Amino acid sequence: MTAQILDGKATAAAIKSELAARVAALKAKGVTPGLGTVLVGDDPGSRWYVNGKHKDCAEVGIASIQRELPATATQEDVENVVRELNADPACTGYIVQLPLPKGLDQNPVLELMDPDKDADGLHPTSLGRLALGIEGPLPCTPLGIVELLRRHDVEIDGAEVVVVGRGITVGRSIGLLLTRRSENATVTLCHTGTRDLGAHLRKADIIVAAAGVPHLVKPEDVKPGAAVLDVGVSRSEGKIVGDVHPGVAEVAGWISPNPGGVGPMTRAMLLNNIVEAAERRAGV
């Protein structure tokens, strides 16, 4: 292995201790931030992620509000829980764990959320604000990737970034984030319709692999010294298989492990969004 590790686990731990201090300062002013989660159905992965979010909250002093619905829940049942959380003063912000079970439509659910309580940065208003350059919550995984690169001094300014995957939680929004003047990267978004993925990847200084296709990014398609972030989660025999082939570590300059890379950063950035929302409300 020649690549240096983009250690998401250690970086998230450092961010959490910074956030714990900010939460303590809010509490001293009489404000307790609270994260709400909506979990629909019985997917074990989604349950694990939601439990992890509440464990993180406990670590930094954020209150937890958990709402669960069975896989048989109707669109109206889910939307009613969203209405409840919109009205709950103890809930600073909340998330609806994605994906929703088959038969439920996530877009009307996201649209119904109070944009000021959108902890995931996935409400149309939040994504619109991001496009317009207006302050607001930012999507957690893209934000986590930027923070992971910054805290390891990987140059983003002027970098050629290739993103693989066009899902809403990562691919669609990360280009908006990385092309802001403050980040100043050039971003190409590739997907299953891209004709020659390898040709794009070989030009990249930074690769964000978020397609959910095991070992899609191969060593021969990575420019020596590039930073490679593995966001893909596929499972084989109970183990995570990422989108990046293990041989890439011999070519890349930086690589995020999977697990232990972008996942823990996603969780840390969710806490960050909750603390920022509470600070905005408290006028800090």
Ligand X SMILES: Nc1nc2c(c(=O)[nH]1)N[C@@H](CN(C=O)c1ccc(C(=O)N[C@@H](CCC(=O)O)C(=O)O)cc1)CN2
| Residues labelled as active-site residues | 53, 97, 120
| DSSP secondary structure string for all residues of 25-92 | HHHHTT---EEEEEEES--HHHHHHHHHHHHHHHHHT-EEEEEEE-TT--HHHHHHHHHHHHH-TT-S
Q: Which of residues 28-67 bind ligand X (CB under 6 A)?
A: 48-49, 52
Q: Judged by CB under 6 A, does residue 259 bind ligand X?
A: yes
d(CA 128, CA 118): 13
Residue 16 belongs to what H/E stretch? helix 8-28
- How far is residue 263 CA from its own chain's centroid? 8
Q: Judged by CB under 6 A, does residue 263 bind ligand X?
A: yes
- The reply, when asked if residue 167 is annotated as ligand binding, is yes
Q: Judged by CB under 6 A, does residue 276 bind ligand X?
A: no
In the numeric block, the tokens 């958990």 are attached to: 66
Number of helices (H) and strands (E) in the chain: give both, helices first: 9, 11
173-174-177 Cα angle (round to 5): 95
d(CA 189, CA 171): 7
Residues 210-239 as x/- pattern, contact with ligand X by CB under 6 A: ------------------------------
Which 3 state secondary structure label does DSSP give 235? strand
105-107-110 Cα angle (round to 5): 115
Which 3 state secondary structure label does DSSP give 19? helix
Residues 103-142 as x/- pattern, contact with ligand X by CB under 6 A: -----------------x-------------------xx-
* Stretch of 20-28, 85-93, 129-137, 255-263 lying at the interface with ligand X (CB under 6 A): 255-263
CB of 47 to ligand X, least distance (A): 11
Among 86, 152, 260, 281, binds ligand X (CB under 6 A): 260
- The reply, when asked if residue 263 is annotated as ligand binding, is no
CB of 266 to ligand X, least distance (A): 5
Q: Judged by CB under 6 A, does residue 7 bind ligand X?
A: no
- The reply, when asked if residue 251 is annotated as ligand binding, is no
- The reply, when asked if residue 241 is annotated as ligand binding, is no
Q: Judged by CB under 6 A, does residue 94 bind ligand X?
A: no
Q: Judged by CB under 6 A, does residue 98 bind ligand X?
A: yes
Among 11, 97, 126, 273, binds ligand X (CB under 6 A): 97
Binding-site ranges for ligand X (CB under 6 A): 48-49, 52, 95-98, 120, 140-141, 169, 240, 258-260, 263-264, 266-267
Binding site residues, as ranges?
165-167, 233
